[in-house]
Structure 1
């Protein structure tokens, strides 16, 4: 699949895809006879995985480390799992923090709703 199609499919710019490849965030993409990137299904799975992980804020450095370990083979299964477990812990912490902020926002909005109802009641 050409880079333009991958870019469209995953809603990532072509520059972002090239950058991800250049820094080792996705494994090197094969090129066709004309030298144009030709993404395989496996390449697309990497793009989807990286987009998903970046979408929730996982650091590029950790993902580069993960991809590097993956490329070293099965002997790195343990360290890869540990990386993911640590990121999951951090994500759960962030989600808890976001839940607290969401509750606070909901309380504030409810307070404003009450104020608006009082004002509207007074005007009527």
Structure 2
């Protein structure tokens, strides 16, 4: 598979894939006798992993570290696995925060009309507002 096909396959630009290779996010891609990149399944797996992890917020530095370890001789499996564990933990923490924010937004949407009506009627004032940080709503921990 060539660069254009690989880029189209994952919705990336060829420049992005070349950048990933240049900075070490993915291992070097083999080239044919004319110097054109030829992508193997292994290469495509690396591109897919890099794209997926970047979209999830994993840093370029972490991806470079992971890819660099893959190219070293010796027992680097546990180091690579630890990078993946660390990234999973970060993503889980982000998911928790995102879920809490989603729940807050849903609460605000669900109670918006009631809240506005209380302000318009004078029942709610700046002195007797609910404390959002103390409100209990579905899925809030």
TM-score range, shorter-chain basis?
0.7 to 0.9
- Alignment partners' CA distance in 2, 1:108 and 1:81: 40
Q: Name the structure with the higher helix share.
A: 1
Report the Cα distance in structure 2 between the residues aligned to 1:41 and 1:89, rounded to whole angstroms.
28
For residues 66-105 of structure 1, the aligned pairs below 5 Å read: 66-73=66-73, 75-105=75-105
Give the CA deviation at 1:115. 7.2
| Counterpart position of 1:62 | 62
Q: Distance in 2 between matches of 1:35 and 1:82?
A: 36
| TM-score for both structures, normalised by structure 1 | 0.86
The runs of 5 or more residues in structure 2 that have no matched partner are 117-141
Query: Which residue of structure 1 aligns with residue 108 of structure 2?
Result: 108
Q: How many residues align?
A: 116
Secondary structure of the corresponding residue to residue 76 of structure 2: helix
* Separation of aligned partners in 1, 2:76 and 2:25: 17
- Structure possessing the higher radius of gyration over alpha carbons: 2
* Structure 1 moving runs of 4+ over 3 Å: 112-116
TM-score by length of 2: 0.76
Shift of 1:27: 0.7
Unaligned stretches of 5+ residues in structure 1: 117-124
